[in-house]
Amino acid sequence: MTKSLKWFLSITFIFLLGGLYTGERIFFIGFGVCISILFYSLITALWVMLDFTYTQSISPNKVTKGSKAMLQMEIHNDKLFIFPYIKIYYQIPESKITGFLKESSCSILPLQQHIIKEEIHCDIRGRFPLGITKVEISDLFGFFNFTLNLAAKSYYRPLYLDVWPRILHLDSLPIPQIDHEGSLNANMMDTQEFSNISDIREYRFGDPLKKIHWKLSSKAQELLVKNYETDTQPEVVLFIETSHSKSKDIISYQIEDQIIECTTAIIYYLLSNWISIELVIYSNTRQGLRARSLQDFDRIYDFLAQLSFSSSFSMTDILRMEYHTLSSGTGVFLIVKNLSPQLFNTLFLIKDSNISILLFYIRNPHSLKKEDQQIMQELEEKGINSIVVDINKRLDKILEVL
């Protein structure tokens, strides 16, 4: 019961007592007017709550990280009385992370509508529910307050905004030396030739320019393309840490987002340079996605855009389970968010098996740990290449500096 309703009920009761005690008509008129006001306030507030009408839309509903989207909500008053006070609670992407809803209050004249526009900056990858979830309704005099929880209704359908990871185009990547089963020993960054030529064929639409055999093409007066031999095993195996974070705060979301962005950039770079790759992820089960060319990138990109971090396995657990599958000469890329002495020992064991390692460590620069810095230093001393990626920086800019 609101404070104004208490005072109004007191006045109504006084009018009633005055009428009963004196018999004067004026007191009964006052009592009748008060009852009428109470009845009008209650009926209109209930009517608004039971017949609440709104529409909402998000445009576009699928964007890449760094883009913007527009959420629009319209509250319609198709009745002949005023909506004196309505407070709207609605979700934006930050609501999924922080748990807080955004608010907007309004009053709507008869046969009018109120429009709420919210520009959304899409800074984190993920799938976010949007739109109105709860409404508070008050009458003209502030006697009655009702709350309508739309999210609990069977007909409630939230909007969804899908934010996909952006694709960073790397100019270079410190790819380790890879031994193709002992038959080929080449530094891929120096030669840019990643396997032996198997045959020559005519150019087809979509073939990259780097595969064109320019000398033969000039002699034959037509574009000829080099086909390369391919191994049965991928040249690079990429492991990413998708363990569940105990505290789902904004930092954990930013770390997960940076892991996906780095993974996307690395895979795009490798496939652009015709380096085959296997992406290995542990969630509830083991998932391995293989790719040999850019034609396979969209499939992996779709998978990464919807990947959830819900695994119970640490990177140390994953490497111990996968160690027997790694052959000598394979290149291993790791993207981790946690460092530990156990991981260091496992990496050193893998390196001793003639397996090249490149480690990407995703961290929060405002929460540095002395133990992590010591592990990174020891990794470098043992010849294990490692790159630190802060959550507030881009991988392409970091590699430019390196």
Domain assignment present for 236: yes
pLDDT for res 167: 92
Checking if the pLDDT of 140 tops 50, the result is: yes
Cis peptide bond prior to 93, omega within 30° of 0? no
Checking if the pLDDT of 218 tops 50, the result is: yes
Q: Are 264 and 168 in contact, with CB atoms under 8 Å apart?
A: yes
* 356 and 325 both lie in a single domain: yes
Average per-residue pLDDT in the chain?
85
Domain assignment present for 117: yes
Checking if the pLDDT of 290 tops 60, the result is: yes
* 218 and 238 both lie in a single domain: no
Higher-confidence position of 36 and 383? 36
Confidence band (pLDDT; 50, 70, 90) for 207? low
* 213 and 345 both lie in a single domain: no
* 7 and 135 both lie in a single domain: no
Query: For the segment 297-308, what is each residue's pLDDT rounded down to a tens digit?
Result: 999 999 999 998
Count: domains in the chain: 4
Per DSSP bridges, beta strands 68-77 and 53-59 are antiparallel
pLDDT for res 176: 63
And the tokens for 223? 């574009």
Q: For 302-330, what is the mean pLDDT?
A: 87
The domain in which residue 29 lies consists of 1-33
Checking if the pLDDT of 194 tops 80, the result is: no
* 84 and 14 both lie in a single domain: no
Q: pTM of the full predicted structure?
A: 0.75
* 375 and 348 both lie in a single domain: yes
* 213 and 237 both lie in a single domain: no
pLDDT for res 212: 80
* 219 and 263 both lie in a single domain: no
pLDDT for res 190: 42
pLDDT for res 199: 60
Checking if the pLDDT of 162 tops 60, the result is: yes
Checking if the pLDDT of 192 tops 60, the result is: no
- Tokens 């017949």 -> residue: 51
Q: Single out the residue of 359, 310, 308 nearest to residue 338, CA to CA.
A: 359
Domain assignment present for 169: no
Highest mean pLDDT among 56-65, 220-229, 234-243, 318-327: 56-65
Q: Classify 221 in phi/psi space as left (phi over 0), alpha (psi -120 to 50) or beta.
A: left
Domain assignment present for 41: no
Burial class (CB in 10 A: 0-12, 13-18, 19+), 267: buried
